[in-house]
Amino acid sequence: MRASHPVFMCGFRPFFVLVAVSGILLVPAWLLVLMGAVPGWQPAGGIVAWHAHELIYGLGMAAVAGFLLTAVPEFTRSPAIGPQALRGLVLLWLGGRLAYAASAAWPAALGLWPAAACDLGLAGVLLAQLAPPLWRDPQRRHLGFAYTLAALILLQAGFYASVAVDGDALAWLRAAVGAFMILIVMAGSRVSMNVVNGHIEAGRPGEPPPGEVGYLARPPRRTLAVFCIGAASAVEFLAGPGLVAAWTALAAAAAMFNLLNDWHVGRPLFRRWPLMLYGGYWLIGLGYAAMGLSGLGLPITASAGRHLLMAGAMALTTLAIMCIAGRIHAGLWLDRRPWAPIAAIALVLAAVLRAASGVGAAGAWAWPLLGLSGLVWSAAFALYLWHAGPTLVGPRTDGQAGCAEPLQEDAASGCDVP
């Protein structure tokens, strides 16, 4: 596909497509592997490591790339990435996915090194693209994105090195989950100011202008949540499961529930976009609570809590941001059709079903719960791709280029029609 194609007009476009395609394919593929439908396929590091890595650094990193390549230029008033460079990042992402899957077929000595070269190259170029404008910003308010991205690179490098020496590769992925949760908290605090207070609705027909600010993403609560999540991840990584890890996970849950108090502003919270982001924060709190209770001996697996974090919080927040940024930066106002809340409910349901398979007596129904969860989760991303795909790959209809927001005057002419 040539670099001048509309899909390379802005950073979110190709990567949001890749997020949706990954969401549709990865979990059904994992279920097929578990059922033995792909006999003999054994990628380097094992199938569990492949499953976790591809959801975290495949789907998750595509979401991070799409968001940061669009948001950082807006936050810092810096130039956006060019089409040629963007195409190169997409090719690196695709190369990583193919190389990891192909590691089951080529010599063991080659292992995951080709996948590591692609994945670490993608993340390194992404950091090199975004860190300078974040650093040059006079107030450096968004520098945390660069630090978290750097942490994800180090954790991924640790994962690949651990696979090469037959170490505990999953420990590096569990730590990466914490880094992603921190990224969600930071991204959510930026997006939610406009979402909850109605600023992104201001130019739409029939929407009143935003009034007094009702929601503020307060730094103290956010900083406490980030610290507690980081502490829980560090303790689990360094000390392994145990009472200390359990109590730090519960501290992370408490900090997230405390962070929710910023959102309780009354009626403005009960719109689809604020509720989706709010639900993501809830799922982070519940996920860490489940992990903590598991460590204290309750009949719930730590995996149940971790899936509330990734299949729940990460997926729901990603969907919300794709629905918002994927419309606004394509020159359209937000989509009011019912498919978006249906997809959001499906993701929450899928995460709850997956978590339930690791809770007490429900474990006897693990296979039906896993299968149903996977189908519902993939259906949510298919619903997104069906409705948002034409916008992501098609030309802008407002005469503008790049990642520019809709023209205010276009709102009166119905610019938000799908």
The pLDDT assigned to 211 comes to 55
Helices (H) and strands (E) in the chain, counts: 14, 0
Cα angle: 142, vertex 255, 238; to 5 degrees: 85
> Which CATH number, 1.20.210.10, 3.40.50.150, 1.25.10.10, 3.20.20.70, labels domain 6-203+213-396?
1.20.210.10
Helix H or strand E encompassing 239: helix 219-239
Dihedral sign from CA coordinates of 113, 115, 119, 121: positive
Phi-psi region of 405 (alpha: psi -120 to 50; beta: other; left: phi over 0): beta
Nearest-Å Rg of the Cα atoms of the chain is 21
Place of tokens 């669009």: 70
Domain boundaries, the chain: 6-203+213-396
Q: Measured between alpha carbons, how far is 185 from 262 in angstroms, rounded to an integer?
A: 13
Q: Is 359 helix (H, G, I), strand (E, B) or coil?
A: strand
Q: Are 378 and 27 in contact (CB under 8 A)?
A: yes
Give the integer Cα–Cα distance in Å for 187 and 175: 19
DSSP code per residue over 250-272: HHHHHHHHHHGGGG--SGGGSSH
Whole-Å CA distances, 344 to 94, 132, 140, 262:
27, 35, 33, 22
pLDDT of residue 337: 93
Full pLDDT tens readout for the chain, 418 residues: 666 789 999 999 999 999 999 999 999 999 999 988 888 899 999 999 999 999 999 999 999 999 999 999 988 888 889 999 999 999 999 999 999 999 999 998 899 999 999 999 999 999 999 999 999 988 888 899 999 999 999 999 999 999 999 999 999 999 999 999 999 999 888 777 667 766 566 545 445 555 555 667 778 899 999 999 999 999 999 999 999 999 999 999 999 999 999 888 777 788 888 899 999 999 999 999 999 999 999 999 999 999 999 999 999 999 999 999 999 999 888 888 999 999 999 999 999 999 999 898 777 888 899 999 999 999 999 999 999 999 999 998 888 888 888 876 444 333 443 4
Q: What share of residues in the chain are helix, strand, coil (percent, to 5)?
A: 75, 0, 25
Name the DSSP letter for residue 308: I
Q: How far is residue 130's CA from residue 217's CA, in Å, rounded to a whole number?
A: 23
Please, where are the H alpha helices in 43-105?
47-53, 61-76, 83-102
359 strand-pairing partners: 300
Q: Residue 198: its pLDDT value, please?
A: 63
- DSSP lists the bridge partners of residue 300 as 359
Give the length of the chain. 418
Reading the block at residue 19, the tokens are 């997020």
DSSP string, 94-135: HHHHHHHHHTTTS-TTTTTHHHHHHHHHHHHHHHHHHHHHHH
Contact 30, 53 (CB under 8 A): no
Six token digits for residue 20? 């949706």
Q: Round to whole Å and give the CA distance between 195 and 80.
A: 23
Q: Is 397 helix (H, G, I), strand (E, B) or coil?
A: coil
CA distances from 218 to 104, 214, 229, 313, 318 (A): 48, 12, 17, 20, 22
